[in-house]
Chain A
Amino acid sequence: MASSQLAKIMHGKIWRFFGGIKPSELKNTTQTPIEELPLPALITLPLERHLGAGGEILVKAGDRVKAGQVLTIPGGKRNVPLHASTSGTIIAINQQILPHPSGFTGRCITIKPDGLDEAVDPAPISDWQDKSPQELLERIRFFGIEGLGGAQFQTAAKLSSAIADGRSCNIFIVNGAECEPVATCDDRLMQEKAADILQGVDIIKHILKPKAVIIAIEDNKPAAIKAMQQAAADRAIVRVIPTLYPSGAARNLIKIVTGIEIPYKAHTSDCGIVVDNVETVYAVKQAIIDGIPLIKRVITVAGSSLKRQGNALVRLGTSVRFVLNHYHLNPERRQRIILGGPLMGFTLPSIDVPITKSATCVFAPTAAEVPPEPEAMNCIRCGRCARVCPSRLVPYQMYAYSKAGDHQHAAACGIADCTECGCCAFVCPSRIRLTAQFRKEKAIQYLLKENATRNERARARMLEHQKREEEAARLREEKKRAALARIQAQKAAKGAPTSAGDSATALPTAQDLAARRAAAVAAAQARRAKLQGLSTSATSETATTEHMPTQAERAAAVLAQDRADRKAAPPAASPALPYGLRRAGVPKQAHIIDAPWPEPQPAERLLSKVENPPTHEIEVKPATYHSIFAPAPEKTEAPKLPHNLSKTRKQP
């Protein structure tokens, strides 16, 4: 890096990113201390990010678990183990509703807490300064630490990719911007746990060895800034940045703090910059210095429909309903419960969903606070959306293409760069649901791309098949030709004798036949001998003469071998889980620690960008136009009724 750039950064220069908005902040919980919620009646832990291909669940229904106990061993490199967040009995491992805007279901482990809240013994690493980064990273991954700012990207993978292949990390940014309105959890955490966060920063500094550590905080959090400045002293730079949504998005924050724009194709850690949320850093500290896995997180609970508002330390897996009850929800008609902030979050179709690591905020606004959306009007091309888009896109153009079903043009407009930040829909005077359309369009693009690759593969297979067919046809043709030639040659050869005696050639004599049969038998025997020789040549020459072992005998031999093997090597200390963690159920060998360290695959990024891609084919209809002098075509298809209400009887 240009050292002048680093000098500028250290000097405190602040860059601007393009666009951005200043929504009303609604942060009225900055003064309420974080309180720990009591134990909920049920804990539901989704498995989706903790299993992956080849992962396994270590518990079964009926098992007793303690808080902090490992419940799964993940298969994929990008997943982390799941930890029980309180002690109790596992009552089910089944499909439950996930916190998702469409109310999708997924596999979850449900724990009935016993109220004792016993925890496994903490396993602090007191001498972490002497440990290698690899060991610390393993601990961070094994203790389930993922980005708590909302993206839920695995922290250890992020950190390790910044130092993999001899790369060096230049700047480590602690993200305390918290630009989302309503959310104050990071703010409160910085006010209350500044020293702990700085310890976490020290650990990450030890891992990454960056040239600079910058804690970026928006200037609407004076208390947090003061606390962090006091705690940081000269260990890190506290950079006060102007309040502008979305300055907390990683790429925008990097632009503000370092002046570098990292395209959406590249990883931020590939270019020597690592951004982590303050709460993640705090979790890292807890994992290493306190030895406690990530089983609780801070969320902001706000909104005028609640009697009380505040910041809550909740166990992961607590249901939203429990949280809302604790804050005395007084719902209005068609109450909206927004998980995540009011700009990036989504309304929940059901409140019986668990709080996960990605939830930052539960917002229950009244209609007065957040008015219901009016009907959208036509786009008047006012250009406001284009003026605020931090990705420098032209949303109204993209929207028009997307609405018209012109997916190529929408892609050419750069829909892949859209972060779904919601700035464009925020400012749109016509109240067009731009961001929602982009979310849908991205899913369609994803599907189209999938279809394209699948088609490509099918075509390749088809070509191969055709080639094979042609080859076979050619061979057949050749054989046929050869056979014809042979027959003709025979005919030509027999041309002379035929004139001598027809009967002799037409009916072979008995002698002739016997000779031929004898020859065939001899040939067959020779073939068999050759085959047997092949299969047993490894053992001995005489194998052909010995009788072949029967099926039963062979099975018995295998079993005996197995027994002998096991006697020779006693089962290698079956609960091989590190850190003295107890494993429930069948002991199985865990490969988690020996696995080579993961390297994030850029190719996979697209997959992770579209959350819950639609599973069925989306019908992509071309736009239809009709003359202005003809009324719009009547909708012929009857509105779909649910199964139990469908009109089965047809009118005669």
Chain B
Amino acid sequence: MQISVQSAKQNLGIEAAPHLHAKLSTNKIMALVLIALLPGVAVTLYYFGCGLIWQFLLLTVVGFICEMLCALLRARPLKRAACDLSVYVTALLLALTLPPLMPWYWTVSAMAFAILIVKQAFGGLGMNIFNPAMAGFIFLIISAPGAFFTTYIAPAPAAIQVATLERSAKVIFTAEEPAVLVQDIKALQDDPDALSGATFLESVKTARKAQTVNAIAAPDFASTNYQAYAALGIAYAAGGLLLIACRVILFQMPLAFLATIAAGGALWHYLSPNASISCAEHLLFGGTMLAAFFIITDPVTNAGTSKGRVCFSILCALLILLIRVEGSYSDSVAFAVLLSNAAAPLIDVLTRRRPFGIGYKEGGLQ
């Protein structure tokens, strides 16, 4: 038996200062984010049916396999890769943004793209430049726009009773025609034929080309057609407040983001009501609330300092407005987030900190 001289001599514990640590750890942060998303998940389940569960399971399994694969390829300890909760956050965010009835192969490819290319190819946790969930979403919307529109569910109360686990599974995994289920859910709405497009923002997009945006009836968020969006907004905000209370995210970020969207949207609507929807619509449609509390606050792809993060939020909000009003994709949040991600290093440089003691005059208090 070989005796290590070092350990025989060394019986006092040696550690680097500081010896005290704050309670929050990276995995706790990830777990808190998952918990904070639960109200949103509940609302989505209720209004959009059980597709979300299948999507989340699928994404999780694929994400886990991809992580393991990368850990193997990079010769990193598997156990540590397995303990990392961040991949589940990505999976849940992606599940919440994808249409609940997306065919499984698209979901799998989106997640594989998000983890393998967007995250691991750049170095894994903490090294990615772009938000993996948003990149996966954009990957799908560009490569399979048709699937989006056929599988999108117009939310209705108690959709969970129609889109049960079995029925969603059939649509997702066995290529059954989703249109039947979508129609069944739509039938639960008070006024199933109010919209011409798949979603509100889609109809607005088509209307914008004809400059007839103000001809679309303003959505009534109390009606069963739009209830879901208001409920989702509230649920995400509640989860976001939990994160703020636990000091996981900076309150300045959602605040600056939402304020910019509200002010910018209102102003644009006032100036040209034919081009832009109103402020409340900007805030509640298209995942703005989800972005405000869960997507732009992703630490990895953000600017570094608090000041930089506020700038980042404002930039992202302005891009969302711009893409919604002028762009040709209705899912402006994802594009805006990726564009701001790309701008984050620049923001970092522009918001460099002044060093300690700047403005100090020689002699100081003489």
Contact = CB atoms under 8 A, between A and B. Distances in A.
Contacts of A426: 18, 20-22
Contacts of B86: 380
Contacts, number: 208
A257 to B, nearest CB: 11
A397 interface: yes
Interface stretch (B190-198, B230-238, B265-273, B303-311): B303-311
Interface centre among B14, B29, B360 (most CB of A within 10 A): B14
Given A381-B302, A394-B304, A271 B18 contact: no
B25 A378 contact: no
Interface residues of B, number: 55
Contacts of A425: 16-18, 21
Interface string A350-374: 1100000000000101000011111
Interface in B47-81: 70, 73-75, 80
A631 B75 CA distance: 6
Contacts of B74: 628, 631-632
B366 A343 contact: no
A21 interface: yes
B11 interface: yes
Interface stretch (A428-436, A495-503, A555-563): A428-436
Interface string A289-326: 00000000000000000000000000000000000000
A202 to B, nearest CB: 22
Contacts of A351: 12
Interface stretch (B35-43, B118-126, B151-159, B160-168): B118-126
A344 B358 contact: no
Contact of A262 (B13, B28, B70, B360): B360
B365 A271 contact: yes
Contacts of B6: 642
Contacts of B29: 380, 382, 429
Contacts of B223: none
A21 B364 CA distance: 27
Contacts of B366: 1, 167-168, 170, 271-272
A379 interface: yes
A431 B14 contact: no
Contacts of A387: 305-306
Contacts of B365: 1, 5-6, 170-171, 258, 260, 271-273
B127 interface: yes
A105 to B, nearest CB: 15
Contact of A628 (B17, B19, B120): B120
Interface centre among A181, A347, A435, A629 (most CB of B within 10 A): A347
B355 A417 contact: yes
A261 B19 contact: no
Given A337-B12, A645-B2, A628 B18 contact: no
Given A349-B12, A394-B305, A429-B29, A628 B357 contact: no
A616 B190 CA distance: 80
Contact of B73 (A181, A337, A433, A629): A629
B363 interface: yes
Contacts of A336: 12-15, 19
A345 interface: yes
Interface in A18-65: 21, 23-24
Contacts of A345: 17, 19
Contacts of B5: 642, 644-645
B146 interface: no
Nearest to B76: A632
A167 B70 CA distance: 64
B17 A436 contact: yes
Interface in A488-514: none
A335 interface: yes
A428 B28 CA distance: 12
Interface in B114-134: 120-121, 124-127
A266 interface: yes
A430 B299 CA distance: 13
B22 A427 contact: yes
A623 to B, nearest CB: 12
Contacts of A382: 26, 29, 299
A208 B2 CA distance: 64
B10 interface: yes
B353 A392 contact: yes
B14 A347 contact: yes
Given A261-B358, A417-B356, A271 B20 contact: no
A113 interface: no
A387 B304 CA distance: 9
A342 B28 contact: no
B218 interface: no
A386 B304 contact: yes
Given A1-B365, A263-B358, A631-B75, A370 B300 contact: no
A631 to B, nearest CB: 4
A334 B17 contact: no
B350 interface: no
Contacts of A391: 355-356
Contacts of A270: 363-364
Contacts of A348: 12
B24 interface: yes
A377 interface: yes
B290 to A, nearest CB: 20
A1 to B, nearest CB: 4
Given A23-B22, A266-B364, A272-B363, 8 more contacts: A262-B364, A334-B11, A377-B27, A417-B355, A425-B17, A429-B28, A628-B70, A645-B2
For the complex of A and B, the 7 pairs showing the least CB-CB separation, nearest first, are A271-B364, A263-B357, A422-B18, A436-B16, A334-B13, A336-B13, A378-B126
Interface of A: 1, 5-6, 21, 23-24, 101, 167-168, 170-171, 181, 251, 258, 260-266, 270-273, 334-338, 340, 342-351, 363, 365, 370-375, 377-383, 386-387, 390-394, 396-397, 414, 417, 420, 422, 425-431, 433, 435-436, 439, 628-629, 631-632, 642, 644-645
21 contacts: A6-B365, A24-B20, A260-B360, A334-B13, A336-B15, A340-B17, A343-B19, A344-B17, A347-B14, A348-B12, A363-B19, A377-B27, A380-B86, A382-B299, A383-B309, A394-B304, A420-B17, A425-B21, A426-B22, A629-B73, A642-B6
